[in-house]
Amino acid sequence: MWQELAACAGMDTDLFFPLENIGGPREGRGVAGEKERMKAAREACKGCLVRRECLDYAIDFECLGIWGGMDTGERRRYARENDLI
C-alpha cells in the first residue's frame, strides 16, 4: 500500500494532527507552538513519493490534520478549485 512508502511512515503521528485550533494563546484559541508543529508536518511531506496518493485519500475520506502537505481547509479549497468534490 502507498502508506508504507510515505515519508512519514514510522514518524510520530501526533505531528500531523492538530491538538487544538490554530492561533495560539494570544488569539484566545489554540496552543503555543501549533503553527510550528504544522510547519514541521508539511516539511515532512515535501519530496514524499506518495504525496499525491495521500492527498487523494484525505480528500476522499475527509480526513483531519495534515495529509499530502495540506491541512483540512487547504484540501477543501484545492478539491473545490479542481472539481474533485
pLDDT tens digits for range 13-52: 888 987 655 554 455 455 667 788 889 999 999 999 999 9
- Map 48-84 to HEC letters: CCCHHHHHHHHHHHCCCCCECCECHHHHHHHHHHCCC
In sequence order, what are the beta bridge partners of 70?
67
In total, how many domains does the chain have?
Answer: 1
Q: Which three cell numbers stand for residue 60?
A: 476522499
- The parent domain of residue 53 ranges over 2-81
- The pLDDT confidence band at residue 63, using thresholds 50, 70 and 90, is very high
Stated pTM of the model: 0.81
- The Cα angle at residue 70 between residues 55 and 24, in degrees rounded to 5: 150
Could you tell me if 54 and 41 are in contact, meaning their C-beta atoms sit under 8 angstroms apart?
no
pLDDT at 5: 96
